[in-house]
Chains A and B, each alone.
Chain A
Amino acid sequence: DAKTTQPPSMDCAEGRAANLPCNHSTISGNEYVYWYRQIHSQGPQYIIHGLKNNETNEMASLIITEDRKSSTLILPHATLRDTAVYYCIVRVAVKVNAGKSTFGDGTTLTVKP
């Protein structure tokens, strides 16, 4: 699995968009980009994933650069409940690999009133 680099911490004002960057310069062609978050004292929660196209769901948007070496998770209207550690993970997603993930240190996002 490719290694990722994320800033250790970020702040965001409530109601504003939170843009969390992730570098994955050694990503392989068959590796997906996944984002999870962990709210204090809870288990990690899946947010979104993508291969090369931008993706959007009810929680967030994922923007992947054309060369796939970096991506940005966007929370369009951050709330206080979005304060959490956000993990960017890259891994293959084929049946036999069973979805093994390697979590790094993540980015601690603090949403402030």
Chain B
Amino acid sequence: DAGVIQSPRHEVTEMGQEVTLRCKLISGHNSLFWYRQTMMRGLELLIYFNNNVPIDDSGMPEDRFSAKMPNASFSTLKIQPSEPRDSAVYFCASSFTGTAYNEQFFGPGTRLTVL
């Protein structure tokens, strides 16, 4: 299995531009998590889905952020318009809720820089 796949790995954009981050879950997994990591705030959970349904989006910073799961194996995190304070590493993780312990598998991350 290829593991969780994220793209792009690096993104540099200018303030005000739309940014779309992508994530492909591990085959057979049914939960998807988006995290953001910065030096100041550490690793923060933004939103998570179970069976394509958003369960908790209380970590999403503001309306500029939106996340979707158009199908069971793929998710996008969109920032529109982007701001310099959005610069961070964004991770997605997947898990299978059929197990007793919900181990999460993380992707390699997308490093976003907003100028």
Task: Tell me, rounded to whole Å, the shortest Cβ–Cβ distance linking B49 to chain A.
Answer: 8
**Do most interface residues of chain A lie in helix, strand or loop, or is the interface mixed?**
loop
Q: Does B13 contact A (CB under 8 A)?
A: no
Q: Does A49 contact B (CB under 8 A)?
A: yes
Q: Does B70 contact A (CB under 8 A)?
A: no
Task: Tell me, rounded to whole Å, the shortest Cβ–Cβ distance linking A69 to chain B.
Answer: 20
B97–A95 CB distance below 8 A = yes
A46–B103 CB distance below 8 A = yes
* A-B interface contact total, Cβ < 8 Å: 68
Q: Within residues 49 to 88 of chain A, which ones have a CB less than 8 A from any CB in chain B?
A: 49, 87
Q: Looking at the complex, which one of A44, A49, A97, A100 makes contact with B43 (CB distance below 8 Å)?
A: A44
Q: Does A102 contact B (CB under 8 A)?
A: yes
Q: Within residues 22 to 56 of chain B, which ones have a CB less than 8 A from any CB in chain A?
A: 31, 33, 35, 42-45, 48-50, 55-56
Q: A59–B43 Cα gap in the complex (Å)? A: 23
- A-B contacts, 30 of them at CB < 8 A, read A32-B101, A42-B108, A42-B109, A43-B4, A43-B91, A43-B93, A43-B109, A44-B43, A44-B104, A46-B104, A49-B101, A49-B103, A93-B100, A93-B101, A93-B102, A95-B97, A96-B50, A98-B31, A98-B97, A99-B31, A99-B33, A99-B48, A99-B95, A99-B104, A100-B56, A101-B33, A101-B45, A103-B42, A103-B43, A103-B44
Q: Does A9 contact B (CB under 8 A)?
A: no
Extra contacts besides A38-B43, A43-B108, A103-B35 (20): CB < 8 Å: A32-B101, A34-B101, A41-B109, A42-B108, A43-B93, A43-B107, A44-B43, A44-B106, A46-B104, A49-B101, A98-B48, A98-B95, A98-B97, A98-B102, A99-B31, A99-B33, A99-B48, A99-B101, A100-B48, A100-B55
B56 contacts across to A, CB distance below 8 A:
100
B45–A102 CB distance below 8 A = yes
Q: A100–B44 Cα gap in the complex (Å)? A: 11
The 3 A-B pairs with the shortest beta carbon distances in the complex, nearest first, are A99-B102, A43-B106, A98-B50
Most chain A beta-carbon neighbours within 10 Å: one of B33, B101, B102, B107: B102
